[in-house]
Structure 1
Amino acid sequence: MALDSGLSCTPAFKTFLWEHVDYLRSSFSSNRAYCKMMMVDRGVIWKYTNTFIHEPVNTINAVCKDDGIPVGGFNRQSKKTFKITTCTFNILTFSFNGLNGTSKIVLTCLNGLPVRFVRYI
């Protein structure tokens, strides 16, 4: 996932990209299959819940600039909605369930780049 903007790529930004960005959404037969594969592949199987954003990196980065609204601290809320899939671990079935849709997102930004997914709204 390269940066077209010329900004330096920090370790926290790289981790954010790896854990939360899947532009064009990988194709799977179901949300459950998608979440199982993505959570394992991205090494975030230890998380109870994780959200993947299906938008270009530059669109996501823009939340940390003019396309985001400050909401406290280093957090910014997107002005537009984003395509997302949220994967949640189900203790009863010992598997991940997935829910996809569109929502505004809140990100923690440092030096104009997202470093943490906070929540969707």
Structure 2
Amino acid sequence: MGARGPRPAVLLLLAACLALARGGPWSLLNDLFRKNHVDMPKTLATNDNAYCNKMMWQRRIYFKFSNTFIHAKDFDINSICSTGGTAAGANKQQSKEHFKITVCTFNPWSLSYTGVSSTAKIVISCLNGLAVLFVKTISASA
């Protein structure tokens, strides 16, 4: 008798087929980027610390020292890979516009996150016109 339970390979294949059927580009790396860095509209929380604790645990990003959430639409972020960005190194693009972001920093003593919201330009790595890796922020004063 075969094993029962989730079949990750089948789910991955199904997701790829659905993306191709929709006619849009699909990238597992872009999916992971969105899971780890995109939150639009920004999830409600009482303050930035509560927001970070909620998002990091909810998205299962455990014990990562620092993580940045970008509060913008996928289209606006992916546009950095073309007309909305300028080259910033090999496969890296810097946004021309500022984005609303929240940076979450892990405190190992309290096992919780501290959050700081701001506006900044961002640098991402792109693959086939899609954001696949968050590199860094460029503060408004830079």
Given the two structures, how large is their TM-score scaled by the length of structure 2? 0.79
Percent identity for Structure 1 against Structure 2: 42
Match for residue 28 of structure 1? 45
1:86 aligns with 2:103: yes
1:102 aligns with 2:115: no
Structure 2 residue identity aligned to 1:23? M
Distance in 2 separating the partners of 1:42 and 1:76:
25
Which deviations, in whole Å up to 9, do the C-alpha atoms of 1:67-86 show, x marking residues without a partner? 10001100000000000000
Tell me: higher relative CO, structure 1 or 2? Use CA pairs within 8 A at least 6 residues apart: 1
Match for residue 63 of structure 1? 80
Unaligned runs of 5+ in 1: none
Structure 2 residue identity aligned to 1:88? T
Whichever of the two has the greater Rg, that structure is 2
Query: Which has more strand, going by share of residues?
Result: 1
Per-residue deviation at 1:9?
Answer: 1.5
Query: Which has more helix, going by share of residues?
Result: 2
Distance in 2 separating the partners of 1:25 and 1:117:
18
Per-residue deviation at 1:91?
Answer: 2.5
Unaligned runs of 5+ in 2: 1-18
CA-based RMSD:
1.5
Structure 1 residue identity aligned to 2:95? S
Structure 1 segments of 4+ aligned residues over 4 angstroms from their partners? none
Match for residue 54 of structure 2? 37
Per-residue deviation at 1:43?
Answer: 1.1
Distance in 1 separating the partners of 2:24 and 2:75:
11
